[in-house]
Amino acid sequence: MEFSLTEEQRLLQDSVSRFLQAECPLARVREAAESGSTHVDNVWSGLTDLGIHGIVIPEEQGGVGLSLLEACLVAEALGNCVVPVPFVGSSVMAPIAILAAGTDAQKERFLPRIAAGQVVFGVGVTEQIGRRESEGISLQGSRLSGKAMFVLDGVDADQLIVADSSGALHIIDADARGVTTGKLKTIDRTRAVAEVLLNDVEAEVLPGSVGNRGPLESTIDAGRLILAADCLGASQNMLDQSVAYAKERRQFNRVIGSFQAVKHMCADMAAELEPCRALMWYSAHVYTAIPDEARLMACHAKAHLAEVGQQIARTSTEVHGGMGFTDLLGLHYWFKRIGFDRQLLGAPELVREEAARIQGWV
Amino acid sequence: MEFSLTEEQRLLQDSVSRFLQAECPLARVREAAESGSTHVDNVWSGLTDLGIHGIVIPEEQGGVGLSLLEACLVAEALGNCVVPVPFVGSSVMAPIAILAAGTDAQKERFLPRIAAGQVVFGVGVTEQIGRRESEGISLQGSRLSGKAMFVLDGVDADQLIVADSSGALHIIDADARGVTTGKLKTIDRTRAVAEVLLNDVEAEVLPGSVGNRGPLESTIDAGRLILAADCLGASQNMLDQSVAYAKERRQFNRVIGSFQAVKHMCADMAAELEPCRALMWYSAHVYTAIPDEARLMACHAKAHLAEVGQQIARTSTEVHGGMGFTDLLGLHYWFKRIGFDRQLLGAPELVREEAARIQGWV
Amino acid sequence: MDLEYSEEYQAFRQEVVRFIADHRHLAPGNVARRPGEDVGISWQKLLIEHGYAARTVPAEYGGFGAEPDILKSHIIAEEFARAKVRPGHSGDNRLVPTLLELGTEAQKKQFIPPTIRGEMSWCQGYSEPGSGSDLASLGTRAEVDGDDFVINGQKIWTSGAKTADMMFCLVRTEPDAPKHQGISYLLFPMDTPGIDVRPLLQMTGDAHFNEVFFTDVRVPTSSIVGKRGEGWFVANATLKHERGGLGDPHAAEARFHEIVELMQHETVDGMRLMDHAVYRDRLLKLQARMLSMKFNGMRVLTHSSRGEEAGLPRWIVKLMGCELNHQMAAMAIDLLGELGILYDASPYLRDGGIWQHRYMLDLGLIIGGGTAQIQKNMIGERALGLPKEPKVEGA
Amino acid sequence: MDLEYSEEYQAFRQEVVRFIADHRHLAPGNVARRPGEDVGISWQKLLIEHGYAARTVPAEYGGFGAEPDILKSHIIAEEFARAKVRPGHSGDNRLVPTLLELGTEAQKKQFIPPTIRGEMSWCQGYSEPGSGSDLASLGTRAEVDGDDFVINGQKIWTSGAKTADMMFCLVRTEPDAPKHQGISYLLFPMDTPGIDVRPLLQMTGDAHFNEVFFTDVRVPTSSIVGKRGEGWFVANATLKHERGGLGDPHAAEARFHEIVELMQHETVDGMRLMDHAVYRDRLLKLQARMLSMKFNGMRVLTHSSRGEEAGLPRWIVKLMGCELNHQMAAMAIDLLGELGILYDASPYLRDGGIWQHRYMLDLGLIIGGGTAQIQKNMIGERALGLPKEPKVEGA
């Protein structure tokens, strides 16, 4: 019984973290955010070198063939540094969808290019989670029409994976005739979400997903786990920043961390966040190891991290006082990243209701 | 615009409070609780002298003809002193039911005796709020059969008012053939709740309640307001005890109230409780003055006080440390009183759902 | 309990309503608030004449000169808000009362009339980067040199500094005195050489506040209000009017109804959000809190109208009111799901992104003007009488 | 991540399972826990022989003498709990480790063997009415008179004092020394003249704790463990084993499933509670917390099994675990509505009134052994490295 990361997993996370801290400091994040970019070239290429885009892709397709737990460790590191780079859609959900439902030819065609960082995939499945207004895509023959409203990593993507109204998954060339992609602006300027309008667009189905919701569900579960892990990393950073600030900032002749109110705010954050790490590890582990538990645990990780992350984002800002409210320390980048992780792929109430259905309680 | 108590209302509450503090100190409460009594004679007779049993009964029937706001002020004082005496059922809900739906003859027959403290009424309407297991009473001709599970002030009552399954209200003699009353034991030993089994019992209908749920609803609303006011009084007392204890108890060479953690616990209680007072006043005021708002506000007062009261009961116990957990200070009498007020006549979730229905949101 | 206004006040309300109806075409139609615009100044002048602005400022200093009547002030505010017409102002709600109470006759004559007319605008120089909750530890120095103070240092959180004509400012003039006794209160023009204003970007993306840097800024020693070293007490003479204010329960109620509206019209998977029991329950909890604060506000208003201290009901308003608003914004964001994260004029943006904006701004309000923690200290100490934290000197 | 036990441990678990199956007919069938009953003593003896009790106590003091192996200990605890068979004990989990670490050879020989056999039972005399969170301020005095200490004072929260044979007790022997340096650690029989035990009624109606009064209680000076004035450090040598313990996530999980059960079978207005979306959402929130704490427990166990300090994951267990249990009890009460308030063998009582009992008892646990506030201080200071509250002496 070893409920802990392996040495290899720790090394992986350390090396990704070290790389990101060096190559993507806050100044770099600001620069990207101000220029409107969510794809920082040096970070993208560095992650390519580290094999990150192929983290869940088997070695035979040019990846490193690790499990979703490793992908979550990377996501945690990315969230920790609020890195503006495609990941959840392009490097996780898309390859997982292709692996789950693609033909061998499709795998050969797309996976090596994803692993090599040569292609960015956007993934649009939110209407399968909770459809808002006129979202939804219909299939006629092999042609798709309709709208995918929240396509993850969809800005400047080369390829798109979207779910039609039956839940079947399709690959589309982002430049194909009939595709119109619009950037959605969110509070989190480190992430790229697009709306995609499809007007009779030629698409390539992932055949394993026809009449079988399994691949769609696996893709969503993986996305939820990645967002939860991102939130864990961002929350940890906000806690760490709070503790550091509380040790340094002086008021009334004392560092503020010696005031019980501030100390308890930090303790509350730590007490809420620490068990999330174990929840995250377990949930990511069973995604591969115990498929029966995968969907439920992905829901729990997503919803619980959303709640804890929100509380930490708020409390950390409070610990920083007025400075937390300004742009000076850049704390709000984490605040907003956590906000994004909360809302995408299902806000907490909806995800919990899904967890109830999974358990047969509804 | 005078959003405040009148001088008369303040005097009323002061005189009741002074009487209760003198005649019903904690020692008296303990004595009653240990002897299993929820009807302390000197308190009952003193309240009779103060006109409290007739507080909502018109002067022509021997009462003092005040409004529900005054009744709530009394309830607050009773909760503040955790007084073991019938009130919510016997002195408020029963007369209100009779006033709302009784004939003149019924009013003449019962109300003067209630006002004079000569008769105790139990009131059983919970199956009309949220029926548990086999609760429920059916009417055949003028005879009732079935079970009322949570009859307020029903232990040692002389008369009972129960609702049948259609919501019509009936008066029963507690000694009538076919009536079996059993005492229910709750955590709150200052209150009397009974189950009443009816086996073909002769009953006297309150005719205004036949085919008209208005009287039943008014009766329930009044009961909810009284429980909310009781909870307000008990919560205020727990806050006051906490503040007093925090000013006195020393640890680490300081009174504990100078520690920010304890100070903030007290501040949180005060900040939560104080707006409840305005909510309570408004809700009790509109019960008489603006009937359109009465039902909604009774729900809000009941549910919100239940939540705030629970938080205060817990926090106050924590402020008292281990002493709060023992019987030594008797703090638990308030803790349990608040627990009782929360559960009876609808736990918060159910009451809020009713508030949604009242507003047409469901 | 009497929820109705007396005849006198009902008549007064009618007067206000009539005035607004008759004159609203003269009100500035835009939302800009900068005093100094012509249309703003003429509107303000009209309001002062009718007693709807600078109402209690004595006539000799350009005001309307009425006796304070909190109910009438409340009615004025309510009716202008209801009509969505720009209300009047009373100059600066900290500076003008301070000058009236502690200014010299010359200062009152010089500053109050243009200020209440809106011809002279002010910003406040209190907070500094190193002194947030502990305001009295401020470090901006003013040293006497001949007939001048020479100011060096930095202020922060200065709203309106870019546009204000003048600043009222706390500076340290007696560095060796105990911290509360070494401060002076100065007034000076913002175009004095050596003042550098830099906007301070907020998490919302706006820059409502500024940093203000002073480098050898010379102002005459006559710029002082009160005596040297008494600035802390001069400032606090009016701070007391502000802390634990009324809040604006009407705003909370309006915001609540926006959420009800949203739940009745937005859908997820084709189902109205109002039909989700979990959201509905959360809505009901917020409604109870909103109503409690509304009625609490009426209670405070009643006290104030009698000239009584409201005590605890007033002390808790900022803490609870800001939290309620923040929670309502949080709920709206959750209701909107993915749509709730949109901002900055994005497609599909709901209500102009106001919920995310409020969610952040309300957090700023929870922090600003005394964090929630400082508010709780005050409630504990001033309202409940708990002892202060033992002082730690030089630790 | 490897959620499976290695073969060695799987084999060990099989052994334990087999032992229990073969011997459970010998286990005390009643729920009484008082060591000293014959059947209890023979059962304990059997368990020690097989290494399921006093497992790591050296054989020379009557124990099984195994090397510490936290996984094996955990497996033993799990299997006895699963089988609902009374587990063994190791004497007193504070006293025995203390004696092993700091007792004289004579003390070890005299006290450990009968204690682990269950023939000698102990109660703990630490807390006093005036010293709750601030334990080191204790005031019970022990003065030397010839070869004796003479003890006067009072202890509180002494569980088992009515039935225990012996007490290990902190007393002040050096009243003029700094508070942590004037304390000694004594062992003495509870039937020593001058000891008066009075039960302390709790809010639950039980009297699990006692007050213990000492009036000129004489015990030989040889009763001391460690040196005079070192009692604080003697006590803390073992306190560290206890603080931030593993908690019992299995208990929380079992309790959670009881709530699921309740929601699937109880109805209101004929509707299953599980069909109420609001209750269901609340259940799901608790499930996430319960699972988090369960996995956190596995993480701590993994650390412990390697002999590593788990750090933060361990520090937060008491705070979060007690709160979770309390919240589950609160939810069950709400679910039951009016039925939730029943107690004391009332008609219609559900689950023997266990939910109200737990609701109160868990609050006691949140308070006891370091209130939630003290826990948060410790997390802030020890786990996060925040500075201590400045000391106030003699204020």
Q: What is the DSSP string of C159-198?
A: TTTTT-SEEEEEEES-TTS-GGGSEEEEEEETTSTTEEEE
Q: Is the pLDDT of residue C32 over 50?
A: no
> What burial class does residue B224 get, using C-beta atoms within 10 Å of its C-beta: 0-12 exposed, 13-18 middle, 19+ buried?
buried
Alpha carbon of C304: minimum distance to chain B alpha carbons (Å): 11
Structure tokens at D60: 């020379």
Inter-chain contact C291–B279, Cβ cutoff 8 Å?
yes
Q: Does A11 contact D at CB distance below 8 Å?
A: no
Name the one residue in this structure whose structure tokens are 């929350």: A235
Q: Is the pLDDT of residue C257 over 90?
A: yes
Give the percent of chain A with pLDDT over 90. 96
Give A214-358's CATH code, choosing from 1.10.10.10, 2.60.40.10, 1.20.140.10, 1.10.287.70.
1.20.140.10
Inter-chain contact B185–D345, Cβ cutoff 8 Å?
yes
Q: Does A244 contact D at CB distance below 8 Å?
A: no
Q: Which of A265, A312, A304, A324 is nearest to D384 (CA)?
A: A265
Inter-chain contact C338–A251, Cβ cutoff 8 Å?
no
Point out the residue among D347, D364, D373 whose CB comes nearest to the CB of B325. D364
pLDDT in tens, D88-140: 988 888 899 999 999 999 999 999 999 999 999 999 999 998 887 788 899 99
Optimal mutation site among A256, A258, A260, A263, interface B, most CBs of chain B within 10 A: A260
Look at residue D33 in the predicted model and tell me its pLDDT: 47
The answer to whether ipTM exceeds 0.90 is yes
Distance CA C368, CA C151 (A): 26
Angle ∠(B199,B202,B205) on CA atoms, nearest 5: 120
Point out which residues pair with C196 in neighbouring strands: C213
Alpha carbon of C336: minimum distance to chain D alpha carbons (Å): 18
Look at residue D134 in the predicted model and tell me its pLDDT: 85
Q: Is the pLDDT of residue C319 over 60?
A: yes
Q: Does B260 contact A at CB distance below 8 Å?
A: yes
Inter-chain contact D347–B182, Cβ cutoff 8 Å?
yes
Residues 204-223 of D with CB under 8 A from B: 209
Q: Which of C325, C327, C323, C340 is nearest to C375 (CA)?
A: C323
Angle ∠(B174,D269,B336) on CA atoms, nearest 5: 65
Give A121-209's CATH code, choosing from 3.90.180.10, 2.40.110.10, 2.70.70.10, 1.10.357.10.
2.40.110.10
Distance CA C226, CA B83 (A): 57
Query: By the 8 A CB rule, do B215 and B169 touch?
Result: yes
Q: Does B293 contact C at CB distance below 8 Å?
A: no
Optimal mutation site among C278, C331, C393, interface D, most CBs of chain D within 10 A: C278
Look at residue C321 in the predicted model and tell me its pLDDT: 93
Q: Is the pLDDT of residue C394 over 50?
A: no
Give the percent of chain B with pLDDT over 70. 100
Known catalytic residue at D49 = no
As a whole number of angstroms, the longest Cα–Cα distance in chain D is 76
Alpha carbon of D374: minimum distance to chain A alpha carbons (Å): 10
Alpha carbon of B246: minimum distance to chain D alpha carbons (Å): 14
Point out which residues pair with C123 in neighbouring strands: C167
pLDDT in tens, A169-180: 999 999 999 999
pLDDT in tens, B316-345: 999 999 999 999 999 999 999 999 999 999
Distance CA D344, CA D326 (A): 20
Average pLDDT (D206-229) is 95
Average pLDDT (C41-67) is 94
CATH of domain D122-228: 2.40.110.10
Look at residue B79 in the predicted model and tell me its pLDDT: 98
3-state secondary structure at position B129: coil
Inter-chain contact B259–A261, Cβ cutoff 8 Å?
no
Identify the chains in contact with B, defined as 3+ C-beta pairs within 8 A. A, C, D
Q: Which of B121, B115, B101 is nearest to B61 (CA)?
A: B115
Measured in Å, how far apart are chain D's first and last C-alpha atoms?
53
Cite the residue boundaries of each domain of chain D with CATH code 2.40.110.10.
122-228
Look at residue C240 in the predicted model and tell me its pLDDT: 60
Structure tokens at D23: 């011997």
B328-332, C277-281, D26-30: which has the minimum mean pLDDT? D26-30
Cite the residue boundaries of each domain of chain C with CATH code 1.20.140.10.
247-383
E strands along D97-165, which residues?
122-125, 141-145, 148-155
Alpha carbon of C247: minimum distance to chain D alpha carbons (Å): 32
Question: Residues of C with catalytic annotation?
Answer: 242
Point out the residue among A131, A318, A327 whose CB comes nearest to the CB of C203. A327
pLDDT in tens, D297-309: 999 999 988 888 8
The DSSP 8-state label assigned to residue A92 in this structure reads: I
Strands B121-124, B159-163: parallel, antiparallel or unpaired by DSSP?
parallel
Q: Is the pTM of this model over 0.80?
A: yes
Inter-chain contact B252–D356, Cβ cutoff 8 Å?
no
Look at residue C395 in the predicted model and tell me its pLDDT: 39
Look at residue D389 in the predicted model and tell me its pLDDT: 86
Average pLDDT (D34-52) is 82
Cite the residue boundaries of each domain of chain B with CATH code 2.40.110.10.
121-209
Residues 96-135 of C with CB under 8 A from B: none
Inter-chain contact B326–D209, Cβ cutoff 8 Å?
yes
Give A7-115's CATH code, choosing from 3.20.20.70, 3.30.160.70, 3.30.70.250, 1.10.540.10.
1.10.540.10
Which amino acid, one-letter code, is at C349? L
Point out the residue among D277, D390, D392 whose CB comes nearest to the CB of C277. D277
Structure tokens at C52: 């709807």
Length of chain C: 395
pLDDT in tens, A263-321: 999 999 999 999 999 999 999 999 999 999 999 999 999 999 999 999 999 999 999 99
Q: Which residues of B touch A259 (CB under 8 A)?
A: 260
CATH of domain D247-383: 1.20.140.10
Provide the b/e sequence for D330-364 (b: ≥16 CB within 10 Å).
bbbbbbbbbbbbbbeebebbbeebebbbbbbbbbb
Q: Which helix (H) or strand (E) holds C50?
A: helix C38-50
Point out which residues pair with D35 in neighbouring strands: D37
Cite the residue boundaries of each domain of chain B with CATH code 1.10.540.10.
7-115
Point out which residues pair with B143 in neighbouring strands: B140, B202
The DSSP-derived string for B134-198 is: T-EEEEETTEEEEEEEEEET-TT-SEEEEE-TTS-EEEEETTSTTEEEEEEPBS-TTS-EEEEEE
Q: Is the pLDDT of residue B357 over 90?
A: yes
Residue D162 CB-half CA count within 13 A: 8
Distance CA A210, CA C346 (A): 34
Point out which residues pair with D167 in neighbouring strands: D123, D188
Alpha carbon of A160: minimum distance to chain D alpha carbons (Å): 33
Query: By the 8 A CB rule, do D47 and D20 touch?
Result: no
Q: Which residues of C touch B277 (CB under 8 A)?
A: 296, 299, 313
Distance CA B275, CA C289 (A): 8
Distance between alpha carbon D30 and the CA centroid of its chain, in Å? 21
Closest alpha carbon within chain B to C311: B274
Q: Does A316 contact C at CB distance below 8 Å?
A: no
| Averaged pLDDT score across all residues of chain A | 96
Average pLDDT (C197-219) is 95
Name the one residue in this structure whose structure tokens are 């804890």: A308
A109-113, A119-123, C305-309: which has the minimum mean pLDDT? C305-309
| Averaged pLDDT score across all residues of chain C | 91
Q: Is the pLDDT of residue A127 over 70?
A: yes
Closest alpha carbon within chain D to A274: D313
* CA distance to B50, B199, C200, per residue, from C158 (Å): 60, 77, 9
Give the percent of chain A with pLDDT over 70. 100
Look at residue D369 in the predicted model and tell me its pLDDT: 66
